[in-house]
């Protein structure tokens, strides 16, 4: 996933990679798609929502993605959340989540939903609670992740009420 030069630099310890978490740029699209695909996460409709996506960038390439889809009516979908395996357990996802949650609040989103097959426990620690998939509100049902994405068909639906969550 990382370029050979980046892997060698990090392995040699010759470069202290400084990791920034920032809003995504149009030029990040390919890197985001690559990272999502490598984690078997859907990458089909990123471009439409890129303005509310965040990335972790180590100066060489995108090593983390945290996406927000504004569904309207105060409802958002946290999606496309991944950190490259070499960079996990360093708090990068926590940093991305803090930025996604802040952006969501600025957009007037108070109910942040999530569909995940793999990270229920991770997001439970961030203030999400599990809920029945059939109880998803209409704006979530209309998202491509809920409606069209086969990999999300059996995913757990989770909800974080942004005002009351104390963990992000």
What is the footprint of ligand COA within residues 101-120 (CB under 6 A)? 116, 118-119
Contact at 8 Å (CB) between 65 and 51? Answer: no
* Touching ligand COA, residues 25-84 (CB under 6 A): 39, 41, 81-83
| Spatial separation of the C-alpha atoms in residues 34 and 133, rounded to whole Å | 28
H-helix or E-strand containing 8?
helix 4-12
CA distance 87 to 79: 19
Alpha-carbon distances of 29 from 11, 69, 77, 154, rounded to whole Å = 27, 15, 19, 27
In the complex with ligand COA, the residue whose CB is nearer, 23 or 88, is 88
Q: How far is the CB of 47 from ligand COA (least distance, A)?
A: 18
- The piece of 21-29, 88-96, 133-141, 160-168 that touches ligand COA (CB under 6 A) is 88-96
91 binds ligand COA (CB under 6 A): yes
Is 89 one of the binding residues for ligand COA (CB under 6 A)?
yes
What is the CB-side half-sphere exposure of residue 46 using CA atoms within 13 A?
A: 26
CB of 12 to ligand COA, least distance (A): 23
User: Is there binding between residue 90 and ligand COA (CB under 6 A)?
Assistant: yes
Interface residues with ligand COA (CB under 6 A)?
A: 39, 41, 81-83, 88-94, 116, 118-119, 121-122
């Amino acid at each position: 996933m990382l370029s050979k030069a980046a892997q060698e630099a990090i392995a040699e310890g010759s470069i202290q990679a400084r990791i920034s978490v920032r809003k995504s740029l149009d030029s990040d699209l390919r890197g985001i798609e690559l990272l999502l695909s490598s984690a078997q996460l859907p990458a089909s409709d990123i471009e439409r929502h890129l303005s509310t996506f965040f990335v972790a960038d180590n100066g060489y390439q995108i090593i983390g993605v945290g996406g927000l889809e504004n569904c309207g009516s105060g409802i958002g979908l946290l999606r496309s959340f991944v950190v490259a395996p070499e960079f996990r357990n360093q708090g990068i996802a926590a940093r991305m989540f803090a930025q996604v949650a802040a952006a969501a609040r600025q957009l007037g989103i108070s109910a942040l939903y999530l569909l995940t097959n793999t990270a229920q426990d991770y997001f439970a620690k961030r203030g999400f609670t599990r809920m029945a998939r059939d109880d998803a509100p209409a704006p979530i049902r209309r998202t491509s992740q809920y409606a069209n994405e086969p990999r999300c068909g059996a995913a757990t639906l989770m909800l974080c009420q942004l005002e009351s969550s104390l963990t992000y």
